Chains A and B, each alone.
Chain A
């Protein structure tokens, strides 16, 4: 068997891609069939325990060496102390923690008023309403304190991620060799499951807000770096010329030429930083970050769906507000005033914001409700929502529909698919993945895919990795069946498209944990629940990119189709979809990345995959094992990322898009 493989490999360059790919698939199928009839040697089915290297132990040894012998722990604990001072200060201002400077908490009405003014400055009345309204809702629903606990960490983590990302982005742009090192690291960071961020954060930065801030920062940095580098690379030579001619120094070039010219990309990076920070709000609650996330977990732990739902709404509102405000900032062009314009005109919004802030702070001293909304004054409808959900579940029709979905999916689709995937011999599985990469992308991708999956096999977590992969593939397949048609229908009319995109934004920022409870209540603790909760999350990019792809089909093409008398279906199938396909592939890729993210969270439903083991390591100090498990997820995700993106790029080039 191995003889054939090596033979195939050595003669590879002479064979055309397709033949080689099909040969590899044939070989894999043959091995699987041999296994079924019981003729395949056991060591080809699963790697024998004896040859699996103890990666976890090695990693632990390295970690301990770096941590204790090199004194990294002492250094990070020193940084922790510094960070703690900053976090304590914001905590004092926002929710009145008794620390320096001991002047907080700022009344909620002052913050809401200031947010409204900033919103008005950035995007007019609608933005003012959104920004002010979000904060009023938060206070009225009785979540002000916990929301501010969350914000007190985010207002430190987000700027930190921005600065570090900007500096690293500039460095990567200046030095190609640094860029070459950084890129793979970023790729890994972006696919690493969040549990793998959390454990080192706790060990090095102490349980609590400090670890939360660090994990959030690290999670939010990669897109900032990428966007900075991208923006700087795109600065047009004419602008650079102009800067040089006016005799700028290198620092002046960067400060006054490059960064302003790359403003748009950098601000998109800022937007991404904010979104990723908010995505971590719930996850960092596992390592002691206080606030909305911790409350959400406590509410879920005592089965208060209504209250957890309300917290979810707050997080979505905060995310949508910050997202829209930062996007408005991207498109808002810097204002220029004539020389001699008085200070108060140039800075009228700044003054208004300060005025609103001071005004409400003063008023709040006399009107207590403007400073703090008590529990009994709040409008929380938690109990009512609970009753609503319970009544909905008790409807016979709902029961019979969910029961039949559960039955069909579990018995006929999911469980057989899982058993089938587990029955494929490891070596054959790696061959299949590699062959698929070869057929879809190219030789380089095929080799890397084989290496990546080979490494997964070597970690000894093969079965769990396959189960993880199976959940991802099952969910993404169903997401494809549902998401693409939704996208196609929505793209027909501008109005529906915008409504669906808003729904996508909401679904994406809604804390994914909340999806788990309804999923369990509808489908029980089964594979169906796991797949359903992944499905909601991974359908978002599919819908979004389908709409984007169809919208961006050049008008000439659709007009040409109309003129040649194509029916709507013909136009869709023969013109629009083929042209939108590369963009849709990017959406498909994101759907898979989202699914890999969510499958880990689905461990909270009850799975037998990598997520479950990762969850288990979180309670201990098993850094090595935690890292190995995380890398398994990353390697699988990277394989998909690499293959799909290569295919999309090739396709785009062939279609003459870009």
Chain B
């Protein structure tokens, strides 16, 4: 019933002369991926667009392949371009043309070696990386012998865990998980008997709410650490620093969006979420067990003071 009312309301808004804006009546296609904050954020923005009288559709896509789809106009925009994870795909698409950078969110992103809090009991010197290296034995498994085991992200995320271990002379063996789900399963299994683990993780992420934890502090990121061996503590090796602690979180759009939906595009340029806001969105789904569209509704209701100003410009 509620759906019908919303549909009617949107219909009325679309027909009324006040809302007779220049935006095309074709649906704005918003891609959704497989992590909660992105899904809820997409729904939030989608509902804002609907509020403006646009029609919106959601498609599920791969988070790397999406940039190719944005370029072709198959999907209209992308709300979470992570510097670390998707920077490369985004830049590649930017070079080919067809996609535009619509600015950054306030939120910063970070991805690095991470451990759940209970790990600190077994290795009190954390989060310092040298302390981590000293208790490598705590992280050893049957397969790694006396070396510690670090569970890196999937190989195709190109996180350079192996290179860092070598560059910093760490007593760790790097194992690649095959998917994010595999990382969570590993943490979840470790939680059962509070086994110390160190894995790849990132923020903002639902995991922070489920398992409190901290990033390992590596030598601070310096520009060029991944290109120039001289940069960083080891003069002969690349990747001898931690990842940037404040990576960007961008919005991207199809080149044709500005012409086809000028108002929606203008709003998109103003949209900017902060880390706590993103965490809140993810929490609504991951902890409160709401469906993404309900979570978006709830968030919009509770935070009108934040998003209203974006509409008025």
- A interface residues with partner B (beta carbon < 8 Å): 96-98, 142, 202, 206-208, 285-290, 294, 297-298, 300-304, 368, 371-372, 375, 380, 382-383, 390, 393-394, 399, 403, 406-407, 410-411, 415, 516-517, 520-522, 524-526, 602-607, 612, 615-616, 618-621
Contacts and interface: CB of A to CB of B under 8 A. Distances in A.
B186 A303 contact: no
Nearest to B68: A621
Nearest to B145: A411
Contacts of B64: 619-620
Contacts of B274: none
Secondary structure type dominating chain A contacts: helix
A554 to B, nearest CB: 48
Interface in B152-207: 154-156, 175-182, 184-189, 191-193, 206-207
B246 interface: no
Contact of A96 (B3, B206, B210): B3
B65 interface: yes
B234 interface: no
Given A207-B65, A285-B60, A393-B192, A606 B177 contact: yes
Interface in B73-123: 74-75, 89
A579 B35 CA distance: 53
B143 A526 contact: yes
B1 interface: yes
A301 B185 contact: no
Nearest to B64: A619
B142 interface: yes
B74 A207 contact: yes
B243 interface: no
Interface string B269-313: 000000000000000011001110010000000000000000000
Given A410-B142, A516-B181, A605-B182, 11 more contacts: A202-B65, A208-B61, A286-B62, A301-B35, A303-B185, A380-B289, A399-B192, A410-B143, A524-B186, A525-B175, A612-B178
Contacts of B182: 516, 520, 525, 604-606
A393 B62 contact: no
A298 B57 CA distance: 18
Contacts of A383: 289
A250 B7 CA distance: 53
21 contacts: A206-B74, A207-B61, A207-B65, A208-B60, A285-B60, A288-B62, A300-B181, A301-B35, A301-B179, A302-B286, A303-B184, A382-B289, A390-B192, A393-B192, A520-B189, A524-B141, A525-B178, A606-B176, A607-B178, A616-B156, A619-B62
Interface of B: 1, 3, 7, 34-36, 39, 55, 57-62, 64-66, 68-69, 74-75, 89, 141-143, 151, 154-156, 175-182, 184-189, 191-193, 206-207, 210, 285-286, 289-291, 294
A207 B29 CA distance: 12
Contacts of B36: 298, 302
Q: Which 3 A-B pairs have the closest CB atoms?
A: A619-B64, A303-B184, A520-B185
A390 B188 contact: yes
A303 B188 contact: yes
Contact of B60 (A202, A289, A517, A619): A289
A300 B213 CA distance: 20
A539 to B, nearest CB: 22
Nearest to A146: B291
A619 B65 contact: yes
Nearest to A287: B62
A606 B285 CA distance: 27
Given A207-B65, A303-B185, A615 B34 contact: no
Contacts of B180: 301
Contact of A524 (B189, B210, B289, B294): B189
Contacts of A399: 192-193
B58, B59, B74, B175: residue with the most chain A Cβ atoms closer than 10 Å = B59
Contacts of A372: 1, 3
Given A605-B178, A616-B156, A517 B185 contact: yes
Nearest to B55: A98
Contacts of B55: 98
B199 to A, nearest CB: 10
Contact of B186 (A97, A300, A302, A520): A520
B1 A604 contact: no
A403 B189 CA distance: 12
B178 A602 contact: yes
A288 B59 contact: yes
Contacts of B57: 97
A208 B175 CA distance: 33
A343 to B, nearest CB: 36
B175 A606 contact: yes
A620 B65 CA distance: 6
Contacts of A411: 142-143
Contacts of A202: 65
Given A286-B62, A375-B290, A390-B192, A603 B75 contact: no
A302 B68 contact: no
B184 A294 contact: no
Contacts of A406: 142
B2 to A, nearest CB: 9
A600 B56 CA distance: 35
B188 A521 contact: yes
Contacts of B286: 302, 304
Contact of A525 (B60, B62, B151): B151
Contacts of A290: 58-60
B34 A298 contact: yes
A206 B206 CA distance: 30
A371 B188 CA distance: 38
Contacts of A605: 177-179, 182
Contacts of A621: 68
Contact of B294 (A96, A300, A375): A375
B157 to A, nearest CB: 10
Contact of A207 (B69, B179, B188, B207): B69
A174 B185 CA distance: 53
Given A399-B193, A411-B142, A521 B1 contact: no
Contact of A521 (B59, B69, B185, B294): B185
Contacts of A390: 188, 191-192
A133 to B, nearest CB: 24
A98 B7 contact: yes
A90 B77 CA distance: 26
Contacts of B189: 393, 520-522, 524
Contacts of A516: 181-182, 185
B247 to A, nearest CB: 19
A96, A285, A297, A407: residue with the most chain B Cβ atoms closer than 10 Å = A297
A410 B176 CA distance: 16
Contact of A302 (B74, B143, B192, B285): B285
A286 B175 CA distance: 24
A615 B35 CA distance: 18
A603 B177 CA distance: 9
B74, B175, B185: residue with the most chain A Cβ atoms closer than 10 Å = B185
Given A298-B35, A302-B286, A621-B68, A615 B178 contact: yes
Given A303-B188, A372-B1, A612-B155, A297 B178 contact: no
A173 B110 CA distance: 61
Contact of A288 (B3, B61, B285, B294): B61
Contacts of A394: 192-193
Nearest to A382: B289
Nearest to A294: B60
B106 to A, nearest CB: 24
Given A98-B55, A303-B184, A619 B156 contact: yes
B239 to A, nearest CB: 20
Contacts of A603: 178
B192 to A, nearest CB: 4
B289 A297 contact: no
A621 B1 CA distance: 43
A289 B59 CA distance: 8
Given A297-B34, A390-B188, A521-B189, A606 B59 contact: no
